[in-house]
Amino acid sequence: MRLALLTLAVILAFSLSVSGCTEETPLSELKLTDTQLQQVGQKIFQNECAGKIVCLVHWNQGEAFPSLGIGHFIWYPKDVDGRFVESFPELIAFMRKRGTTLPKWLDEMEPLDAPWPDRSAFLEQEGSPRVVELRGFLEQTQGLQADFMFRRAQSSLERVISAAPEDQQDAIRQRIDALSTTPGGVYALMDYVNFKGEGLSPSETYNGQGWGLLQVLEQMSESDADTALGQFREAAATVLTRRASNAEKAIEREQWLPGWLNRLKTYHESN
């Protein structure tokens, strides 16, 4: 009897050990109510466009691509191979899966390249029926765009954790989990992924240094702020300042960086 009990105990212990070895760490999960998601979408729209409808289809000076929607999703023209990750075609694919009716000319485009070869051509056609229709479409689908940004941020988290050095992955996960507990933290994660990317693309670096979400999460270890959101804000400022310092174009330091740093000031909990 004693031998039988001992054998059973050994089997049970082995089973628990195997179970413990194969159990995966729970996925980091972002959570927002529908109302909070719409509020976050509007905050990102304010960040990108100051809430101006005309800015929903826009081409910034110094850039090789137009930016569209409340998240200023990048859309490359034909034969433009930029360093930044393109996101507007992904948005359109997401909308198609959701059964959204697209403007006919946009739906029929193949391949889905921006129809303006450069900024000058865009400015000449900025008041054209197609651009006006596209702005109206993007105004009417702001909720879908917010949902797209939320899902994009959510899907990026495990990739970001996996891309970190193995000895830092637990710390990176803990920082994401801490940010995910409040609407302000979720907003910061969503906005930053949309704003500066995941930090995983080799092309999104200057002098070998990236500026995406991964780099900010790594930099958080150097912050003395009291909260995870405060640490994230400080780390993002350091990473973006480093990017501007490494940039070849002076416009990044002289014009863009002040706006980026002002944007980070919105990373706080709403009262």
Structure tokens at 77: 């023209």
Coil/strand/helix, residue 147:
helix
Please say whether the beta carbons of 44 and 194 come within 8 A.
yes
pLDDT of residue 17: 38
Please say whether the beta carbons of 173 and 162 come within 8 A.
no
Structure tokens at 217: 């999460």
pTM to 2 decimal places: 0.84
Q: Which helix (H) or strand (E) holds 57?
A: strand 57-58
Taking only the tens of pLDDT, the chain with its 271 residues reads 433 433 434 433 433 333 333 345 556 789 999 999 999 999 999 999 999 999 999 999 889 999 999 999 999 999 998 889 999 999 999 999 999 999 999 999 999 999 999 999 999 999 999 999 999 999 999 999 999 999 999 999 999 999 999 999 999 999 999 999 899 999 999 999 999 999 999 999 999 999 999 999 999 988 888 899 999 999 999 999 999 999 999 999 999 999 999 999 999 987 4
Q: According to DSSP H, which parts of 50-125 are helical?
A: 88-97, 104-107, 119-124
Q: Which helix (H) or strand (E) holds 68?
A: strand 67-68
pLDDT of residue 83: 87
Q: Which helix (H) or strand (E) holds 3?
A: helix 2-22
DSSP state of 101: P
For the chain, what are the domain ranges?
34-264
